[in-house]
Chain A
Amino acid sequence: MSGVRLRSRSSLGVSLLVPLALIALTMAVGANGTPSLRDTVTLILCNLIIVLGLQVFIGNSGVYSFGQLGFASAGAYTAALLTLPAAFAALQTPALPHPIASAQLDPLLAILAAAAACGLLAAVVGLPLMRTSTLAIPISTFAFLIVFYNVISNWDRMTGGSGGLVSIPRTTSIESAGLWAAAAVVTALAFKWSARGYRLQATREDEVAARSLGISVTGERLIAFALSGMLCGIGGALAAHQSGVLNPTTFYFGATVTTVTMMVVGGSRSVFGAVLGTIAVSTVNEVLRNVEGGAHFLGVVSIGRTPGLAAIGVGLILLATMIAMPDGLSGGRETGEFGRPRWLPGELRPRDPVVRIDRTGVAPIDRGAEPPPGTANGSGTDREALRAERISVAFGGLRVLRGVDLTLRRGEALGLIGPNGAGKTTLVNVLSGFLAPDGGTVNLDGIDVGGHSPARLARAGLSRTFQAALPFPHLSGLESVAVGAMGVGVGRRRAVAAAADVLERLGMREQAMLPAGSLPPASQRLLGVARAFATGPRYLLLDEPAAGLSETEGEQLVAILRDVLVDFGCGILLIEHEMSVVMSLCPRVQVIDDGVTLRIGSPAEVQADPAVVEAYLGSSYLAAANA
């Protein structure tokens, strides 16, 4: 399609190769060391897989789960029970069903089975948990960890109880652990940079903006949660096959704190960070663990037996990181993202016609026998409209909207104006599904869309922007806009092409590769508009796009909008209380005040209406003007 890419090939290569090289280096150190070092390094590589599992969910969603070690534990038990020699199984787990007890699977098959079981378990557990809020997820996943621990500790005849299992075949070599870790790195990076990964990252950056782009927060979190559970399960399974022993506390609270620390120290948004953090924290941990048993330094300082020293060290590292370096060692970047991006995508130039966003893979709202979207141009037919009727909203006793009607036709620009507090934003919140009205109906192309979520409406072709820019600070401009297209189900490659096109049309070529958080407010604002355009809307609601901008910036924005309105051919509702902005863009204007419609007409008609003038300037002004 086009040569536009989210990152250069060299950046991609470096991001992938550096963590893999780090793993290879770790393996080399371990393989050439003593047998005990070999064992230690193998376990570190198993831990790395678990930490990468944490990164997939926590790093991309920004939501903490303290339950992932439960999946590591589940994976370890699954793999252990599937490979335990029959005689030992009969002794340790007498109630285990015969097919499992006597399975004695090939270790590789057992690990694959553990991966599948943990992915499934995480999906089932996540189904209810992911529906709760960003704050309830850490708590309910923590509850899951304890529930799981409680079950395996007490189900003696199936799991060996709190005494755990011994004589698990020790089949994990440093090489196999390293290969699995490398595969986990590739998986984590591939996920992060997939359309799904970007959609999830968008919910981390700004949940509200993500929903307005068609992204289902719950759905994206659930998929990452399941993938994360799978990776953690593999790490746990390999670890059980490394150490040969397993009990309920192997993967419990202590391991949770340690692995979370590894992820945070490295920088949770980065896969490279997970690798770096695991190696760094493991090294400190090992040194401290040796000191725990008593040690002498240079024959001068001697320390007696101090249990808990390693854990204190981990706790202090975690605390120091949170206070002094919350983005971790990597700063949240992949290795290819260090330094200022010098690379600008090659073919950021407009094509003709505009890249058409067809929402492949997304179930559109059933439109009966109507023609597919995007075929009609100019002013739409009567049914091709966003139509709100008798909308009323009250906050407590305050009636903000009192029976407002609004019709936005395909291809027209309608201005919505009114003084502060007139109810403009509330109306947009109702139209875009963010607020359920107390009365009235909203119709999209003849379909009643009352009660539809913002994400569903965005996928059906209704997009909006907000009074605040709501940028995705850690995503580049190009990524931010591409997420808009990904949000409505467009594949990654096509989404990037569409984003490049939109950015070029809005004159934002220079900002495409910079993190959105580093851009000036005016650019962030424009990026918000670009993001909404990238969803390929048929109706676009712009809530005061010029708010907070200087007069010049506002005028530039209006000029840009005027140029692109025709290109995109969607119906636009422009909210402003600055009359002049609306007058210059919209042939039709609706004025609301105090929750009711005052007037609908051309800019000239509206301006001449005494009721409108009164609403804006008060009756005394009107009286004075008439006198």
Chain B
Amino acid sequence: MTELVQNLIDALALGSLYALIALGVTVIYSVMDMMNFAHGEFIMLSAYALYVLAGLPFAVAVGGALVTGVLIAIAAERVAFRPVRKADMSAQLVTSLAVATILQNVVMAAVDARPKSVATPSVISESTQVGAISVPNLEFLTLGLTAVVLVALGWLLYRTRAGLAMRAAAENFEMARLLGVRADRVIALSFAVSGALAAVVGVLLVMQTGQVSPTMGLTPVLVGFVAVTIGGFGKMFGAVLGGLLLGIVSSFLGAYLPEGLAPFRDAIVFSLPVAILIFRPQGLLGAATGEARV
């Protein structure tokens, strides 16, 4: 029983992390129908901010990571994605793949191809005893941060003028434009939000692994894509649900897979969307998108 509760908390923490990744991918998709491969690199670069700012107080470094995530995202939009905004979604996807490749290898050339370790405050790696179970502080932090982020995002989307514009653009971009929503501003804002989400994930990943590497964004972006596919493209709630589901399944597989199969956990987890798509080609929630309409 204790073990199950323990595993459940682990699973929820991982699921929250995945949900944050999926949200970052969805915020951009919902506004401009683009699946952003470079989201993993937004995460990676934010994490490298912690590495670069290692000498400073950790809170300052985290602030630096947030600023980095937001700025990189906005810059990528301005330089690479704006020129292909009118292209079809395949072209946009390939463009984001190019951006991801460039950012990843620039870090490789500028820093190193090998992982670098980053010191984090010791309190994060400690655990807190709650009754019979001991919960790593990082999991509390992850769950807490996710809750804060979800509330903040909800507030932004449903309580502010900018959020209203984002929701309108997500519903029908052209119509929103005609009604006076400024396209450039809404898209830039979406990228800023996505970059901030990426930074939160980057910081949490560094706390978890204690290191950064140029390719650390690859698995997260796949996680985000798969979660979004499961949840149904462009649905914020679906993204959270898909992320949670993927994280929970992954975590439980990690805990209960027999030893011989343990290395194949990722293979099993990423086969999950296929299993779901066989029965529900449109994802768990929402109508088919990416599917032509009459």
Seen from chain A, the residues whose Cβ lies within 8 Å of a Cβ on chain B are 62-64, 66, 128-129, 131-136, 138-140, 142-144, 146-147, 150-151, 154, 206-208, 253, 257, 260-261, 264, 306-309, 311-312, 314-316, 318-319, 322-323, 326, 429, 434-435, 466
Contact = CB atoms under 8 A, between A and B. Distances in A.
Interface in B106-151: 106-109, 113
Nearest to A156: B263
B63 interface: no
Contacts of A318: 94-95, 97-98, 101
Contacts of A466: 294
B91 interface: yes
B290 to A, nearest CB: 3
A358 B293 CA distance: 30
Contacts of A139: 35, 225-226, 228-229, 273
B238 to A, nearest CB: 13
Given A142-B222, A315-B99, 18 more contacts: A129-B277, A132-B281, A133-B288, A135-B289, A140-B273, A144-B274, A150-B263, A151-B267, A154-B263, A208-B294, A257-B98, A260-B94, A261-B98, A311-B101, A314-B101, A322-B84, A322-B94, A434-B294
Contacts of B285: none
Interface in B210-231: 214-215, 218-219, 222, 225-226, 228-229
Contact of B277 (A64, A128, A260): A128
Contact of B266 (A135, A150, A307): A150
Nearest to A321: B98
List the 10 shortest-distance A-B pairs measured between CB atoms, nearest first: A135-B290, A315-B101, A308-B108, A308-B105, A154-B263, A315-B102, A318-B98, A133-B290, A319-B98, A311-B105
B208 interface: no
Interface string B75-88: 00000100110010
B93 interface: yes
Nearest to A310: B105
Interface residues of B, number: 54
Contacts of B267: 146-147, 150-151
B59 interface: no
Contacts of A207: 292
Contact of B109 (A144, A154, A306, A326): A306
Contact of B289 (A133, A208, A308, A314): A133
B80 A323 contact: yes
B237 interface: no
A97 B104 CA distance: 40
Nearest to A454: B294
A399 B99 CA distance: 48
Contacts of B104: 308, 311
B56 interface: no
B270 interface: yes
Contacts of A322: 84, 87, 91, 94-95, 98
B89 interface: yes
B66 to A, nearest CB: 26
B276 to A, nearest CB: 10
B75 to A, nearest CB: 13
Main secondary structure of the interface of B (DSSP, over half): helix
Contact of B90 (A63, A307, A315): A63
A257 B102 CA distance: 11
Given A312-B102, A322-B95, A466-B294, A62 B90 contact: yes
Contacts of B263: 150, 154
Nearest to B87: A326
B290 A129 contact: no
A146 B229 contact: no
A280 to B, nearest CB: 16
A136 B267 CA distance: 18
A601 B258 CA distance: 74
Interface in B237-294: 263-264, 266-267, 270-271, 273-274, 277-278, 281-283, 288-294
Contacts of B80: 319, 323
8 contacts: A135-B233, A143-B222, A146-B219, A207-B292, A257-B101, A309-B105, A312-B106, A434-B294
A64 B105 contact: no
B95 A134 contact: no
Nearest to B293: A208
Contact of A308 (B98, B106, B264, B288): B106
B90 A64 contact: yes
Contacts of B94: 64, 260, 264, 318, 322
Contacts of B274: 128-129, 140, 143-144
A323 B233 contact: no
Contacts, number: 152
Contact of A309 (B83, B84, B109, B266): B109
A319 B109 contact: no
B108 A133 contact: no
B141 to A, nearest CB: 28
A438 B179 CA distance: 35
A253 B218 contact: yes
Nearest to B29: A135
Given A135-B35, A136-B290, A323 B277 contact: no
A312 to B, nearest CB: 5
Given A131-B278, A146-B266, A307-B109, A138 B83 contact: no
B80 to A, nearest CB: 6
A583 B197 CA distance: 62
Given A147-B270, A316-B102, A133 B291 contact: yes
B72 to A, nearest CB: 15
Nearest to A263: B94
B273 A143 contact: yes
Contacts of A316: 98, 102
Contacts of B218: 253
Interface string B51-64: 00000000000000
A284 to B, nearest CB: 14
A151 B264 contact: yes
Contact of A140 (B35, B84, B89, B277): B277
A207 B294 CA distance: 10
A319 B102 contact: yes
B97 to A, nearest CB: 6
Contacts of A312: 101-102, 105-106, 109
B281 A315 contact: no
Contacts of B215: 253
B281 A136 contact: yes
A323 B107 CA distance: 23
A380 B14 CA distance: 66
A58 to B, nearest CB: 8
Contacts of A309: 105, 109
Contact of B271 (A143, A260, A264): A143
* From B97, B215, B277, residue with most partner A Cβ within 10 Å: B97
A140 B278 CA distance: 11
A208 B292 contact: yes
A131 B281 contact: yes
Nearest to B225: A139
A147 B273 CA distance: 12
B45 to A, nearest CB: 14
Contacts of B90: 62-64, 134, 138
Contacts of B83: 323
Contacts of B97: 66, 257, 260, 318
Contacts of A146: 219, 222, 266-267, 270
A434 B214 CA distance: 47
